[in-house]
Amino acid sequence: MLKTVAVAVDGSPASLEALQWVAQWLGGDGQIIAVDIKDPSLFYRKRTQVAHGADLDVDEADFLREWEHNAQKVQEKALQIATQAGAHMEWQTVPVSWNHNTPAAAFYDYACQRQADALAVGRHHGSVLVEGLFGSFPRWLITHSDRAVIVIPPSHSRLGQS
């Protein structure tokens, strides 16, 4: 029986659905470790997409403050989901470090450190082509994990969204 499940939670509908599914499944019988990955490279990727080749006015401190503000909101939603299901949840923010080449690797390493029995992630209803070219968080976990990986598919209400 699974007692500890690490859930990747970034505030997206997919991640919140995964958390809700695990919280209802475990109820009060297990421990959820909700993990939000702090990846500043996302900020730089967005900025370079907007102004390729231009001189960018990048303020990492502003990005980090905005990230912290948004992460607090995500944490509050996650706690509400777990509480409503009667589940025990712990929140953890894990930064991507130089040892990790992807946010999925940072999530996986942390889950292993905490001895999670399984990993859970939501699946975005994204483009198969984009996921094939650039990979995906769930795909990385499935191909690299030595633990059970639970991938929660999009709900019917999100199937028409990209």
Domain ranges of the chain: 1-8+20-26+94-162
45 pLDDT band, cuts 50/70/90, is: low
* Count of residues making up the chain: 162
pLDDT at 43: 57
CB atoms within 10 A of CB 15: 26
158 pLDDT band, cuts 50/70/90, is: very low
To 10 degrees, the CA torsion angle through 93, 99, 100, 101?
150
pLDDT at 132: 58
Q: Is the model more confident about 137 or about 47?
A: 137
Does the pLDDT at position 87 exceed 70? Answer: yes
Q: Are 69 and 55 in contact (CB under 8 A)?
A: no
Residue 85's SS3 state is helix
Please give the average per-residue pLDDT across 135-146, as a whole number: 88
162 pLDDT band, cuts 50/70/90, is: very low
